[in-house]
Amino acid sequence: MTRYDFPQDLRDAQLALHQTQSEYEQYAATLPWSAEPMAGWEGDKQLHSGFRSSKPDSPGYTEEQGQEVAAYRAQLLKLGTQVMTHPYWETLKGNDLFAARMQLKHVHETPEPHGEAAA
């Protein structure tokens, strides 16, 4: 497998994107299921399992929660744009470009080999 020599600022932006996405998902899990106040519901009983889906009433987001969600989304957009439009991508073509983009998503998971430069 070809290893790509990503610039440090691109690696840093990708790591920040992962971390921000993780923080946002953890925060979102604490929020009401609907951003706006909405009545709960109960679905029909499933034929073979007897399971009945349901949601309780949602109070909606507070003003602070809405602002926090907007801040996370703005940061995710900024970091995603920084990663996707980085000048490094212009040095690659075709399958190399695709493979490099996929590898960048996981570059922080494995230690970088010492003294090994890649294409």
d(CA 99, CA 1): 9
CA–chain centroid gap for 8, Å, is 20
Task: Evaluate if residue 1 carries a pLDDT over 80.
Answer: no
d(CA 63, CA 67): 6
Give 119's pLDDT tier (boundaries 50, 70, 90): very low
Task: Evaluate if residue 18 carries a pLDDT over 60.
Answer: yes
End-to-end CA distance of the chain: 11
Beta bridge partners of 52: 45
d(CA 50, CA 118): 56
∠ CA 7-18-81, nearest 5°, is: 60
- Per-residue pLDDT reduced to its tens digit, 45-91: 988 898 999 999 999 999 999 999 999 999 999 999 999 999 999 99
Amino acid 118: pLDDT: 46
Amino acid 79: pLDDT: 98
pTM, full prediction = 0.81
List the structure tokens of 24.
């946002």
Amino acid 113: pLDDT: 60
Mean of the per-residue pLDDT values for the chain?
92
